[in-house]
């Protein structure tokens, strides 16, 4: 066990840390090795809901399997609550896994067991006595809203109800960390929302840290306080969800988010835009409102600054990790005098803008 395990735990100590983690698969029998993780440094803050997003094959599942010791790093170190996962023996891994709950896309319930018995399973495996199990399972069923379904079998439940059983089962051993592997990907939008509400409530009320991997940007946008973007085995961007989603820096993040955040111009306009203005062109600009700017009447002032020739083409108000965020696409003449006036206005007001291009 690592020496870090003996240090006092503070809020500042992350729940999970990845330090220089690489993971290679294969490489035996003359086959080339494949590098699924290429050097990951990353921390999951205690009490956070942290999302990991990335395209298919980017390394999300590998990352999460390293946390509960289903995989071991080729190099580097993964620690959960200060404990080096790679240094644990079988008994150590068993006790670590009791402290980590996991929920899955396809729920992984045992079809021959009732709701109650599915939730009790991890406690039975841990050797907990029948009376304690009885005392724990009832409140767990109530917590996930299935108090009246104890004797039902998985086949009798909807997808959302099955995931609620999965969540109750994951919480049975009172874990400090919940890993979620695409837990809402098989659910419709309304059911997804109710499961996300439940995860948010569990995070808040039980203080449980949640690490989730997903290809659904909406999931991260709705509940994750923090996010990391993984691309070809590397974390290319990480930070508070609001910051990363409103000001994405990396090309992969921008591509993943393009449909999920703010507004887009219709393609028939955006396809024809040039990167520099020609005579008589208009500038197409996205204005982004957040924090203080979300509440100031800046559009009216911009119109006053630019004159009557301001077109509002698209707009949306959104919420990211509980914070309001608005975006507006406008166009105005791209002559030097107007561009200068608009630029001055953006500098003075601190408004965030993105020039989409120039066109007729
Ligand atoms: N056991 C394994 N043996 C060989 N290659 C593997 C193994 N596990 C994963 N890989 C490869 O590592 C890469 C990352 O896989 P991983 O499952 O972590 O990606 P992912 O981001 O979770 O993708 P998805 O969203 O499609 O599940 C993929 O190219 C995958 O084929």
CA of 239 from ligand 1 middle (Å) equals 24
Same domain for 12 and 42?
yes
The pLDDT value given to residue 3: 41
User: Which is it for the CA torsion 343, 347, 351, 356, positive or negative?
Assistant: positive
Q: Which mutation among 22, 25, 32 tests ligand 1's pocket best, with the greatest number of atoms within 8 A of CB?
A: 25
3-class secondary structure for 42-99?
EEECCCCEEEEECCCCCCHHHHHHHHCCCCCCCEEEEEECCEEHHHCCHHHHHHHHHC
Same domain for 213 and 317?
no
Q: In this predicted model, what pLDDT tens digit does every residue of 278-330 receive, in sequence order? A: 999 999 998 887 766 666 677 788 888 887 688 888 887 788 888 887 888 89
Report yes or no on 48 lying in a domain: yes
CA of 160 from ligand 1 middle (Å) equals 27
The pLDDT value given to residue 286: 86
Same domain for 86 and 215?
yes
Query: CA-CA distance, 165 to 282, in Å (whole number)?
Result: 55
Query: For residue 328, what is the domain's CATH number?
Result: 3.30.70.260
Number of domains in the chain: 2
Same domain for 212 and 92?
yes
The pLDDT value given to residue 9: 52
Same domain for 251 and 353?
no
The pLDDT value given to residue 294: 64
The pLDDT value given to residue 179: 97
How far apart, in Å, do the first and last CA atoms of the chain sit? Answer: 66
List, in order, residues 6 or more apart from 148 with CB less than 8 Å away. none
Same domain for 184 and 321?
no
Report yes or no on 161 lying in a domain: no
Domain limit, last residue, from 257, 286, 320: 257
Report yes or no on 166 lying in a domain: no
Q: In this predicted model, what pLDDT tens digit does every residue of 90-125 receive, in sequence order? A: 999 999 999 999 999 999 999 999 999 999 999 999
What atom in ligand 1 is closest to the CA of residue 71? Answer: 1
DSSP state of 264: -
- Which region holds residue 172: left if phi is over 0, alpha if psi is between -120 and 50, else beta? alpha
The pLDDT value given to residue 1: 40
The pLDDT value given to residue 4: 42
Domain limit, last residue, from 214, 234, 257: 257
Q: In this predicted model, what pLDDT tens digit does every residue of 235-247 receive, in sequence order? A: 999 999 999 988 8
Domain limit, last residue, from 224, 257, 290: 257
Report yes or no on 158 lying in a domain: no
Give nearest CA residue, ligand 1 atom 29: 57
Q: Are strands 311-320 and 323-333 parallel, antiparallel or unpaired?
A: antiparallel
Same domain for 77 and 42?
yes
Helix (H) or strand (E) holding 138: helix 130-143
Q: Which of 17, 44, 53 is nearest to 244 (CA)?
A: 53
Query: CA-CA distance, 359 to 275, in Å (whole number)?
Result: 9
CA of 122 from ligand 1 middle (Å) equals 27
Report yes or no on 33 lying in a domain: yes
Same domain for 223 and 306?
no
CA of 14 from ligand 1 middle (Å) equals 26
Query: CA-CA distance, 321 to 226, in Å (whole number)?
Result: 9
Pocket of ligand 1 (CB under 6 A): 25-26, 34, 36, 54, 56-62, 215
Same domain for 95 and 13?
yes
Same domain for 287 and 228?
no
Same domain for 251 and 275?
no
252 is written with which tokens?
């992969």
The pLDDT value given to residue 30: 73
Give nearest CA residue, ligand 1 atom 26: 56
Report yes or no on 189 lying in a domain: yes
In this structure, the number of other CB atoms found within 10 A of the CB of residue 133 comes to 20
Query: For residue 34, what is the domain's CATH number?
Result: 3.40.50.300
Query: CA-CA distance, 37 to 230, in Å (whole number)?
Result: 9
Give the Cα-Cα-Cα angle 92, 57, 23 (nearest 5 degrees).
40
Which residue in this structure is represented by tokens 């919420």?
319
What is this model's ipTM? 0.93
Q: Are strands 282-290 and 16-26 parallel, antiparallel or unpaired?
A: unpaired
The pLDDT value given to residue 247: 82
What's the average pLDDT block by block, 10 residues per block, for the chain (360 residues)?
45 90 86 90 96 93 95 96 95 93 94 97 94 96 95 96 97 96 93 95 95 93 95 95 88 81 71 89 87 70 82 83 83 92 88 86
Same domain for 276 and 218?
no
The pLDDT value given to residue 227: 97
Spatial contact of 93 and 143, defined as CB atoms under 8 Å apart: no
What atom in ligand 1 is closest to the CA of residue 23? Answer: 12
Question: What residues make up the domain containing 61?
Answer: 3-99+175-257
Report yes or no on 203 lying in a domain: yes
Q: Which of 355, 360, 358, 357 is nearest to 286 (CA)?
A: 355
Report yes or no on 115 lying in a domain: no
């Amino acid at each position: 066990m690592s020496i870090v395990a003996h240090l006092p735990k503070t809020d500042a100590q992350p729940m999970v840390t990845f330090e220089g983690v690489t993971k290679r698969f294969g490489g035996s029998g003359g086959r080339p090795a494949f590098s699924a993780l290429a050097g990951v440094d990353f921390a999951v803050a205690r009490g956070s809901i942290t999302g990991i997003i990335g395209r298919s094959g980017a390394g999300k599942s590998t990352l999460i399997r390293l946390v509960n010791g289903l995989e071991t790093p080729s190099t580097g170190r993964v620690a959960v609550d200060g404990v080096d996962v790679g240094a644990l023996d079988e008994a150590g891994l068993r006790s670590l896994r009791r402290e980590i709950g996991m929920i899955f896309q396809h729920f992984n319930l045992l079809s021959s067991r009732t709701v109650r018995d599915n939730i009790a399973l991890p406690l039975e495996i841990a050797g907990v006595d029948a009376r304690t199990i009885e005392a724990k399972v009832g409140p767990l069923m109530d917590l996930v809203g299935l108090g009246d379904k104890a004797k039902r079998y998985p086949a009798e439940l909807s997808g959302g109800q099955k995931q609620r059983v999965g969540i109750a089962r994951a919480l049975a051993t009172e874990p400090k960390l919940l890993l979620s592997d695409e837990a809402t990907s098989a659910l419709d939008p309304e059911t997804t929302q109710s499961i996300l509400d439940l995860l948010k409530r569990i995070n808040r009320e039980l203080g449980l840290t949640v690490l989730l991997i997903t290809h659904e940007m909406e999931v991260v946008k709705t509940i994750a306080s923090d996010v990391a973007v993984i691309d070809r085995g590397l974390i290319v961007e990480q930070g508070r969800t609001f910051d990363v989603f409103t000001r994405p820096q990396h090309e992969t993040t921008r591509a993943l988010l393009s449909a999920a955040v703010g507004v887009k111009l219709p393609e028939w306009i955006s396809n024809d835009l040039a990167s520099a203005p020609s005579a008589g062109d208009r500038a197409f600009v996205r204005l982004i409102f957040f924090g203080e700017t979300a509440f100031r009447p800046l559009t009216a002032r911009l119109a006053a600054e630019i004159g009557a020739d301001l077109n509002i083409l698209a707009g949306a108000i959104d919420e990211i990790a509980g914070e309001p965020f608005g975006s507006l696409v406008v166009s105005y003449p791209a002559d030097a005098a107007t561009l200068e006036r608009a630029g001055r206005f953006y500098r003075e007001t601190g408004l965030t803008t993105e020039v989409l291009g120039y066109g007729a």
